[in-house]
Structure 1
Amino acid sequence: MLLNCIWYLARLRSKGYITCDPTVLDLMKNEQVHAIIGPQKSSQAKFVTELGGKVEVPIVSFSATSPTLSATQSKYFVRTAQDDSSQVKAIASIVQAYGWREIVPIFEDTEYGNGLVPFLLEAFQEIDTRVPYGSRIPLYFNDTQIMRELNKLKAMQKSIFLVHMSSSLGSRLFLLAKDAGMMSEGYAWLVTAGLSTLLDPLRSEVMDSMLGVLGIKPHIPTSKRLETFKSRWSKNFTISKPQSKINELNLFGLWAYDTVWALAMAVEKAGIVHSRYVKPNTSESTVDFAALGKSETGPRLLSSILSTKFQGLSGDFHLAGGERVPAAFEVLNLIGKAERVLGYWTPESGLSRNLHSRGKIAYSTSKNRLKEPIWPGDTTQQPKSLRIGVPRRTGFHEFIKVEWNPEGDKPIVSGFTRDVFVSVIEALPFPLPYEFIPFVNKNKESAGTYNELLDQIKLKNFDAVVGDITITADRSTYVDFTLPFSESGITMVVLTKRYERENMWIFLKPLSPELWLTTGIAFIFTGLVVWVLEHRENKVFRGKPAQQLGTTLWFSFSTLFFAHREKVVNNWTRFVLIIWIFVVLIISQSYTASLASILTVKRLQPTFVDVKEIRKNGYFIGHQKNSFVKDFLVKRLNFSDTVLREYSTPEEYHDALSNGIYNDGVAAIFAEIPYIKRFLAKYCSKFQMVGPTYKTDGFGFAFPLGSPLVPYISRAILNVTEDKDKMEEIERRNFGGEATCLDQAAMLTSGGLGISSFGGLFIITGVASMSALLIYVTKFLYIHWPASNTMDRERSFYSRVLELAKHFDKADPSAHHLNRAESRVHPVPSAEIVGASPHIDDARGHSRTSSEGSGDITGDQAHDNHTPQSSAANPEPPHTQ
C-alpha cells in the first residue's frame, strides 16, 4: 500500500489521538502523500480540508466532529467519525423525557464547542424547552474565572445544565462545580458524546465529582473481533510499556483503527501502486500552494474510500455523503468510575431500555423507557425543576392547607387548588417534576401577603406559585398567569334581619306604594267612565250629586269582591267593564298569592344592600386578610383605610357581622365569591350575599414572565375543568357534601309587587276606557251641541257648555228601559194628587192609594214627568221637555 502518512494503530495512545510531527505542507511537498489521516482538532481541519481540496488529496478525519465541517464544503474531506449534530435529537429526547422545560448549555469557546450550539438551540425550540442563558468558557480561563461563572449560574437559580467541551476543560469544570455545591441534590447535569467517550483517562477525583451525571455516546456493538483485539492490545501494550497503566480503548481509538483499515482497503480496491503529483513542486517555499500540483490518484482513491463498507471494531463502517452514518446512542449514568447504561436511543424508536427489541416499537420519549438513574447528591429523586410556592392560610383551608409531617418535618399540602394543580400536571403531555415550598417564616407562619408571595417569583426564589391566587391586572405586570380554573368576583355579605309577620300593616306589603296608588287611580277613573256612559240611560246612576258619587265609587271599587246586581245598559260600558274586571282579577289573585307567601314563608331581609349607604355613613367593613381586596376597596370603591378590618376565618366573619355596626362589628364583609360561598354554606340562615358583583378573572397559577410552561398549563387546565366528573370529585373531596344556601334572590324581600309587573294591564284598561269615553262624548256632542240657528251662534261658549251640561243631566228619552218604567205609572190630575185616597192602578191592575203609588215614583220620575192633567177618556202621553 502506498500510504506516505499512516499512523499505525499499535502506536495509538489510550486517548485515541493520532499525531503527526511533520506539517501537512511538508508531507505534500516532499513526500507527495495521496491521503492524510487527520487532523486531530476541528479548528485545524478547516485549513487542512481547504488544502486537500486544492491538491485533490483525501483528508480522512476520525476526531474532527464539529458540525461546521462537512463534505459539502470540500468533497475531499471524509469524516469517519459521527458528526456532533447527530446526537442532538438524542439529547433533546432525554431532556423531553425528564420534563426539563429550561436548560443552560455550558460549552467551550472553540470551533468544536461553538459549532454544536445552533443545532442544540433549534432542537430545544422544537420541544419548547427554554434556553435562558448560554455559558461560554474559553480555554484560557483559569479556575477562578470558571468558578465565577459557576457562581453566576447558581445565583440565577439554574439547576439543569448541558456540558459540551473537551475532556481537559470538562474535568476542571466538574471539580469546580463540586466545590461550588452544584453537584448536590436538586441539580442535573447532561454531557455530550465528546466528553462521554473520553471518561477513562480522567482522574479518579474527577470521576467522583461527576456522580449522577447523565451522558450519551455512540453505541459500540459487541463482537468477537473486538474482544480479540482488546486482548491483543492489552498484551502488546504491557510488553512495550510495562510501567504504564493500561486504559480501556475508547471510541476515538476504535474509529482510528477502522479508518486505517478503510484506507488500506480503498487503496487495494483502487489498485494504486505508484503515483505522483501532476505538477511537482519546484519551489523551495513551503507556502507556495500553486506549486504543489495535484495528485493523479486522488479522485480515484476518494471514490474508493466513499464506497468502502465492512464490519469494523466500532461497528458497521459505512459512509454517506462523505460522513459516517450515525447509529444508536447509549444513555449513560456515571456512578463513580463506572458507567451504567440506562437505555438507548435510535432514530427509529427513540428511547428504549433494550436496543434489540422484537417487533416494531413506536417512537417514544418517555423516561419509563429508561432505567432509574442515580442523580447528583447520590439520590434517586429526580431533581425538582419547579419550586412551587404555596401560601400559608389561617382560614378557608378547603382551598389550600399546609401542615408539617412530625416525623420528617416536611410540608404536607392539600386543598382544592392543590388538587387542581396535580390534576393539571397529570394532564400535561410531558412529565413535570415539582416541589411544594410553603411561604412561611421561621415560626412556620405566613411570611407575607399574596402580593409578597408573587414577588418571590420575580426574585427567583420560586419557579411558580400555586394557591387561591386571584388574577388581577396589577399582578400580571410582573408574573404570567395561566387561564383561570375557578369563578371569581368581589361582592359583599351582610347580616340579615327576619321579616316580621306580626306587623299590623302587613296586609299592605303585597303591593308596593306605587302600585297601590296606581290601582286606586284606575278604580276612580274607571268609575267615572262608567258614570259618564250610564248617567243618561241608567236610573241607577241618576239622583242627587252625592248619591251619584257614592254609586259611582261603590260600583267601581266593589268589582274587586263580587258581581253587581246593578245592571248596565250601555254597550260601551260593558266593553269597559270586561277589560276592567280582567285587570281586577289578575291584581286580586296576585295580591292574595303574595300575602299568603308573606304570612307562611320565612323571609330574610338584608340589613344593607347599597355600598354607597355604607360608605356615606362611615360604617366599618371587613375583608380577607393578606388579600388584594383591601387595595380594591380603597382604590376602586373609595373607602378609607380607617374603616377597613381584616379577617381570616369563617368564624371571624360570623362574629364581626353578628356584632353589627354598633357592637364593634362591621356592616359588611367584602370578599371573593368562592370564599363567600364557603362562608354561606356554613352560616346560611343568618347572612346574605347582596349588592353588585365586581368582576375579577378567578384563581390561576402564577409563573415567571415569558415562562414556556404557561401555554401548556393553560391547555391542561381546560382539559381538567371541562371534565365535569373530575371537577366534581375534586370539589366533593375538599368541600364535602355540605348544604348550601338556596338562591339568595328568593330570600330577599322585594317590598311587594311593583307597578312594572302590571303596567301592561293598566295600559290596556286605560286605552279601552278612553276609547269608549271618546266615542260616546263625540256622539253626544254631535247631537246636542247648540249651534243650529243664529241665536245659538251668538251665545257665548260658556253658555253653550252650560246648556250642553243640562242636556247631559236629563234622562235619555230613547232609553227603552226608562220608557217601560214610566209606562207602569198612570198620571192623574194634580187635584187628585192633593186629594184624599184617590186610587191608582199599578201595571198589574191592582188598586192602590195615592200614598202607596207615590212611593213607587222616584224623584227623577217626579222631575221628568210634567203631566198636570189627564183624562181617562182621552189620555195624553207624558210630555218630556
Structure 2
Amino acid sequence: MEGKCFLSLFSCFLLFLLVLLQAPTGNGSNDRMNNGEIKLIVRIPMSDFPQFVDIVWEPSQQKYTASGYCMDVFNAAVTYLPFNVSLRVLPAVVDSSQVYKTHHASPKQILTESEVVVGDVTILANRSKFVDFTVPYIASGVKMVVPVKHGRDQTMWTFVKPFSWDLWLSIIIISTFIGLAILIMERNVNALPNQEGSPNQKKLCPATILWFPLSQAILPEREVVVKSCSRFVLMVWLLLAFVLMQSYTANLTSILTLDQLRPSFLNLNDIRRRGYYVGYQSESFVYDVLIDQFKFDPSKLRPYRNIAEYHDALELGSQNGGVAAIFDEVPYLKIYLQEYGSNYVMSGPEYRNAGFGFVFPLNSNLTAYFSTAILDVIESGIMNEIEEKYFGKNYIGGEVSSGEISSETLSLSFHSFSGLFFISGISTLLALLVSERFIWQRLILMAKALTEIMSPIPLFKKKTRTHPIHDSTHGTEA
C-alpha cells in the first residue's frame, strides 16, 4: 500500500510539472499573467519619420497612444496570437549607447522581461547578441539618393544616338557584304534591250558596293537587277532596312521629345573620388556602413534628422554647404521620394540587411509567437492595406514607380537585331552559292584534274611475267 501511495504522489507531481511546462510563458511570464492574459509594456522609440511610428500623450485619457505603420503591424499581429495580451504604451528613451541606433555601441540591458520595442528598428547581427528579433515585417537596405537633371541633352551628334556604335558597324558590314554579293551575281549582265529595243539595264559599278544597298533602301528601283537570286537578296535587304529605319525613327523621336532624368553623378566612385560631402540619418548605423562598406572619409559625412533636412542639403549641393547624396535605409528613402521624387533618383549599390523587426528580451518565448503572427498578417493581405494607408498604392510590394529608375533613353544595340542580321547573311550566302553554282562545279572539276595530274607516276613499267619455259629457252639460246 505504501508503494502504491508513493507512485500516486509521484504521478501527480509529474502531471503538475507537465501543466507548468505547457503554459504559454516567456521570461517572467508567471509574474505578468493575470486571468490567462499577458501584460506587455510596448516601448516606442522616438522617430523623425512619423509615418513609421509616432507616440503622443493624451491628457484626456492620461496615457500615451502610438500610431504609424509599425504600430499598426504590431496590433494586427496581436490579433493572431493564441492568447490574450494587455498592452501598455510607453516611450523609450534611447541614447547613443543603446542598441537601437548605433552599430558598434555596447548595448545596455534596455528591456525588462515584460517589454517589447515597436518601431523602425533594423535587425542587425550584433544587436541579436543582446536582444531577440522577430522575423522582418518590411524589407530594408542602404542606398543613396542623388539629384537629377530634367531636359534633353541634345548635341550636333544627337542623330547617331538611336543606334550604338556596334549596330552602326554591323549595318556597314552587312551592307558591304550584300553589295558585293549582288555585284558578283550581276557581273555578266550586259545592257539588255527592252521591248522597244532600247537598253534597259545598267551594269553595276564596283565603286558602288556600299552605296548601292543604301540607295535601294531609300529609293528602291524595280529593274535595277536582273537575276532572280539578286532580286531575292535585295528583297531580304529591304526587309532588314525597313525594320532598322522604323526603329531608328522611333528611338530618335523619343530622344528629341521625351523629358529625360539624368543623375548628377554616375556612380558612387564619382562622389568619393571628387571628395563631395554626403548625408545620412543621424544616430543611425548607416554611419558605420558608409565608413566600413562604402569607404568614405568620416570628415565627408554630415548627419541629418528628417526628409526636410535631406531636401535642403541636396538643394544646396556639396559645393555650397550641402551634400551631393543622401545615404539611408530604403524605406526612409522611398518616403523621401514620395515627397520630392520628381527631382531625385535612388541609385548606387545596396548594402543589404534583414529589415525592421520587433524587439524582445533575449531568449523570450514570445518572439516565436509574434514571428508566426507577423507571417499570418503578411499572408492574410492585411499588410498591403497597412502599407497603402501610410505610403500609398505605389509602395505595395516594396517598390515605388517614380524615382528609382532613370528615364534616359538607351541606344539600340546589335543584340536587338542580331536575328535579322543572321537571317540576312545566311540568305545572301545561299543565294550567292545558287547563283554561282557553275563556278563551284568548275572549281570541283579543276580540283579533280589537278589531283590526277599531281598523282605519282611510276618510273618503270611493271614487266609482265612470262612462262618459265620461254625463259629457259631464251636462256639456252643465249
1:479 to 121, 125, 131: 131
Larger Rg over CA atoms: 1
**Local SS of the residue matching 1:639:** coil
Distance 2:7 2:348 in 1: 79
Residue equivalent to 1:468: 120
8 Å contact from structure 2 (residues 213, 237) kept in 1:
no
Residue equivalent to 1:535: 187
- Relative to 1, partners in 2 of residues 1:629 and 1:533: Cα closer, same or farther, differing over 3 Å? farther
- Relative to 1, partners in 2 of residues 1:577 and 1:691: Cα closer, same or farther, differing over 3 Å? farther
Residue 427 in 1 paired to residue 80 in 2? yes
Question: C-alpha offsets along residues 579-627 of structure 1, whole Å, 9 cap, x if unaligned?
Answer: 2222212111111111222233222122234233333333332222222
CA-CA distance at 1:505 after TM superposition? 3.2
AA at the equivalent of 2:189: E
- Relative to 1, partners in 2 of residues 1:705 and 1:609: Cα closer, same or farther, differing over 3 Å? farther
- Relative to 1, partners in 2 of residues 1:486 and 1:526: Cα closer, same or farther, differing over 3 Å? same
Residue equivalent to 1:772: 431
1:508 to 140, 160, 169: 160
8 Å contact from structure 2 (residues 96, 102) kept in 1:
no
Residue equivalent to 1:845: none
8 Å contact from structure 2 (residues 337, 403) kept in 1:
no
CA-CA distance at 1:416 after TM superposition? 0.5
CA-CA distance at 1:674 after TM superposition? 1.6
8 Å contact from structure 1 (residues 457, 704) kept in 2:
no
CA-CA distance at 1:630 after TM superposition? 2.3
Residue equivalent to 2:176: 524
Residue equivalent to 1:404: 57
Question: C-alpha offsets along residues 493-527 of structure 1, whole Å, 9 cap, x if unaligned?
Answer: 22111242654433222222332232233222322
- Relative to 1, partners in 2 of residues 1:576 and 1:565: Cα closer, same or farther, differing over 3 Å? closer
- Relative to 1, partners in 2 of residues 1:446 and 1:399: Cα closer, same or farther, differing over 3 Å? farther
Residue equivalent to 1:669: 326
Distance 1:590 1:392 in 2: 55
8 Å contact from structure 2 (residues 145, 325) kept in 1:
yes
CA-CA distance at 1:742 after TM superposition? 3.4
Residue equivalent to 1:450: 100
CA-CA distance at 1:119 after TM superposition? 5.3
**Local SS of the residue matching 1:564:** coil
CA-CA distance at 1:741 after TM superposition? 5.8
Residue 72 in 1 paired to residue 31 in 2? no
- Relative to 1, partners in 2 of residues 1:124 and 1:786: Cα closer, same or farther, differing over 3 Å? closer
Residue 571 in 1 paired to residue 223 in 2? no
CA-CA distance at 1:772 after TM superposition? 3.4
8 Å contact from structure 2 (residues 98, 110) kept in 1:
no
Question: C-alpha offsets along residues 772-800 of structure 1, whole Å, 9 cap, x if unaligned?
Answer: 3455556425438996999xx99xxxxxx
Distance 2:271 2:341 in 1: 22
2:42 to 374, 380, 388: 388
Q: Normalised by the size of structure 1, how large is the TM-score?
A: 0.45
**Local SS of the residue matching 1:569:** coil
- Relative to 1, partners in 2 of residues 1:573 and 1:733: Cα closer, same or farther, differing over 3 Å? same
- Relative to 1, partners in 2 of residues 1:474 and 1:434: Cα closer, same or farther, differing over 3 Å? same
Distance 1:559 1:747 in 2: 39
Distance 1:605 1:575 in 2: 45
Distance 1:729 1:450 in 2: 27
AA at the equivalent of 1:656: A
Q: Residues 19-418 of structure 1 correspond to what in structure 2 (within 5 A)?
A: 71-73=4-6, 120-130=16-26, 160-161=30-31, 385-394=39-48, 396-405=49-58, 410-418=63-71
Distance 2:318 2:410 in 1: 24
Distance 1:681 1:399 in 2: 14
Structure 2 gap segments, 5+ residues each? 192-200, 455-478
CA-CA distance at 1:417 after TM superposition? 0.2
Residue 549 in 1 paired to residue 445 in 2? no
Question: C-alpha offsets along residues 346-405 of structure 1, whole Å, 9 cap, x if unaligned?
Answer: xxxxxxxxxxxxxxxxxxx866xxxxxxxxxxxxxxxx84333322122x2101123334
CA-CA distance at 1:713 after TM superposition? 0.4
AA at the equivalent of 1:401: D
Distance 2:300 2:236 in 1: 56
- Relative to 1, partners in 2 of residues 1:693 and 1:581: Cα closer, same or farther, differing over 3 Å? farther
Residue equivalent to 2:463: none
CA-CA distance at 1:578 after TM superposition? 2.7
1:602 to 254, 259, 262: 259
8 Å contact from structure 2 (residues 78, 370) kept in 1:
yes
Distance 1:475 1:541 in 2: 85
CA-CA distance at 1:682 after TM superposition? 1.0
AA at the equivalent of 2:423: I
Distance 2:190 2:83 in 1: 93
**Local SS of the residue matching 1:731:** helix
Distance 1:74 1:484 in 2: 49
CA-CA distance at 1:490 after TM superposition? 2.7
8 Å contact from structure 2 (residues 345, 405) kept in 1:
no
**Local SS of the residue matching 2:296:** coil
Residue 589 in 1 paired to residue 246 in 2? yes
Give me the identity figure in percent: 36
**Local SS of the residue matching 1:696:** strand
Residue 496 in 1 paired to residue 154 in 2? no
8 Å contact from structure 1 (residues 389, 465) kept in 2:
yes
Question: C-alpha offsets along residues 738-793 of structure 1, whole Å, 9 cap, x if unaligned?
Answer: 99963557642143212221122222222223343455556425438996999xx9
- Relative to 1, partners in 2 of residues 1:773 and 1:619: Cα closer, same or farther, differing over 3 Å? farther
- Relative to 1, partners in 2 of residues 1:458 and 1:745: Cα closer, same or farther, differing over 3 Å? closer
Residue 705 in 1 paired to residue 362 in 2? yes
AA at the equivalent of 1:607: S
Residue equivalent to 1:757: 416
- Relative to 1, partners in 2 of residues 1:526 and 1:744: Cα closer, same or farther, differing over 3 Å? farther
CA-CA distance at 1:437 after TM superposition? 2.9
Question: C-alpha offsets along residues 609-652 of structure 1, whole Å, 9 cap, x if unaligned?
Answer: 42333333333322222222222232223333233222221122
- Relative to 1, partners in 2 of residues 1:598 and 1:538: Cα closer, same or farther, differing over 3 Å? farther
- Relative to 1, partners in 2 of residues 1:651 and 1:754: Cα closer, same or farther, differing over 3 Å? farther
- Relative to 1, partners in 2 of residues 1:672 and 1:563: Cα closer, same or farther, differing over 3 Å? same
Question: C-alpha offsets along residues 695-733 of structure 1, whole Å, 9 cap, x if unaligned?
Answer: 322211121232111111011111212222x33442344
- Relative to 1, partners in 2 of residues 1:126 and 1:751: Cα closer, same or farther, differing over 3 Å? same
- Relative to 1, partners in 2 of residues 1:691 and 1:583: Cα closer, same or farther, differing over 3 Å? farther
Distance 1:637 1:501 in 2: 31
8 Å contact from structure 1 (residues 605, 747) kept in 2:
yes
**Local SS of the residue matching 2:401:** coil
Residue equivalent to 1:633: 290
Q: Residues 744-823 of structure 1 correspond to what in structure 2 (within 5 A)?
A: 747-774=406-433, 776=435, 779-780=438-439, 782-783=441-442
Distance 1:74 1:772 in 2: 101
8 Å contact from structure 1 (residues 449, 626) kept in 2:
no
- Relative to 1, partners in 2 of residues 1:714 and 1:689: Cα closer, same or farther, differing over 3 Å? same
Residue 683 in 1 paired to residue 336 in 2? no
- Relative to 1, partners in 2 of residues 1:452 and 1:557: Cα closer, same or farther, differing over 3 Å? closer
Distance 2:130 2:232 in 1: 73
Distance 2:349 2:249 in 1: 32
Distance 2:315 2:165 in 1: 32
8 Å contact from structure 1 (residues 538, 569) kept in 2:
no
**Local SS of the residue matching 1:697:** strand
AA at the equivalent of 1:663: N
8 Å contact from structure 2 (residues 179, 213) kept in 1:
yes
Distance 2:11 2:224 in 1: 108
